[in-house]
């Protein structure tokens, strides 16, 4: 069975889905690996490193796609990849099925099995495969580094002959994987950190990192069965906004990470709330890819408005390409081991990972949310 990986097609993407260490381990397990020429350049990995790991380097993208049995990548599949993969092949990626309906239909028509990594459940078994968590860890770290770079103040307290400099105050909205990493990184840099989450159960995790937990007095269950935050009622949403507004007024930096699966990110910071921050303050919106948590966020851009810097960059994990690729690659090893054994694809639809992640298989679209959207005419 041949596993293939090539350079990502998304503009500015520097990560690669498999690094040489993973390639060597997969080959030791009996797989063959074919790598597109230059696939690892963005993460400073040469073709020679892949060769030394035992991979074959393929200079033709068309030849690679038409040869491999399993194609692994990071970003959503392009229509050219849906066309180029041989019939009956398999693809593992962050698929984002709904906006890629044409690609999903093409895969189904060509009997290609699509495994969507964003659908992995939050379970102990899936933890080692969870690319969202690994890449969110990278993004949470990178958000703090970007904020420190943009803030015209020190993060730590400094005691100098010129007097004592107070530490920066960082406010983190959302204490999931990215938020917790942001808290930990900001604390390492010496900032005073406060954090808010609609899930009161994360309070202990926040406080264990040395941050203060902001209790907004939300008394409804704001968590899904998977442990992710869910949309709040209007009453609870207003209460959360009020608490956030009070915290923002004292913050030098705000990092937002609040996401609701398959929905637009909730707006938790209005323009008025953002402008209540001191001039020179910074907002890093990690929810920018889903519209942003701040009303001022412009996805893909950094802006300055009335003295407030709002950073809405996309793909922060891609800015730490070396370690982000290494973490993603380790996740992929576990995923490949879960789905491919004894030289073939093995699907057990009684298994939650399989049931949740397989979008197309044997000529059909299986993703229930996508099928529902098609029936309702919501997916174009």
Catalytic center residues: 122, 127, 130, 133, 228
**Inter-residue contact 114 to 107 (CB < 8 Å):** yes
């Amino acid at each position: 069975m041949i596993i293939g990986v090539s350079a990502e097609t998304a503009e500015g993407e520097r990560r690669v889905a498999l690094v040489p260490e993973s390639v060597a381990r997969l080959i030791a397990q009996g797989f063959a690996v074919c790598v597109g020429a230059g696939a690892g350049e963005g993460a400073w990995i040469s073709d020679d490193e892949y060769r030394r790991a035992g991979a074959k380097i393929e200079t033709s993208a068309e030849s690679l796609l038409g040869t491999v049995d399993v194609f692994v990548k990071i970003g959503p599949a392009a229509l050219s990849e849906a066309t180029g993969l041989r019939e009956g092949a398999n693809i593992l990626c962050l698929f984002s099925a709904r906006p890629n309906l044409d690609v999903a239909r093409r895969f189904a028509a060509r009997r290609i099995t699509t495994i969507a990594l964003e659908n992995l459940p939050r379970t102990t078994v899936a933890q080692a495969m969870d690319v969202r968590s690994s890449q969110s860890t990278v993004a949470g770290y990178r958000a703090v580094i970007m904020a420190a770079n943009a803030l015209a103040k020190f993060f730590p307290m400094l005691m100098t002959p010129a007097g004592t400099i107070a530490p920066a105050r960082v406010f983190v909205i959302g204490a999931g994987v990215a938020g917790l990493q942001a808290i930990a990184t900001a604390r390492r840099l010496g900032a005073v950190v406060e954090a808010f989450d609609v899930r009161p159960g994360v309070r202990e995790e926040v406080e264990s990192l040395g941050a203060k937990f902001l209790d907004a007095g939300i008394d409804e269950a704001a968590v899904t069965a998977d442990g992710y935050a869910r949309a709040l009622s209007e009453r609870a949403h207003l209460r959360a906004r009020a608490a956030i507004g009070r915290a923002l007024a004292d913050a030098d930096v705000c990092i937002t990470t609040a996401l609701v699966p398959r929905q637009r990110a909730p707006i938790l910071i209005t323009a008025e709330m953002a402008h209540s921050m001191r001039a020179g303050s910074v907002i890093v919106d990690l929810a920018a890819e889903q519209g942003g948590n701040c009303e001022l966020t412009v996805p893909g851009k950094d802006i300055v408005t009335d003295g407030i810097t709002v950073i809405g960059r996309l793909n922060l994990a891609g800015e730490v390409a070396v370690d982000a690729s290494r973490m993603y690659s380790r996740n992929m090893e576990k995923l490949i081991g879960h789905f491919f054994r004894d030289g073939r694809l093995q699907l057990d639809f009684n298994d939650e990972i399989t049931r949740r992640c397989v979008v197309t298989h044997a000529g059909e679209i299986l993703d229930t949310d996508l099928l529902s959207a098609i029936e309702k005419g919501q997916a174009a």
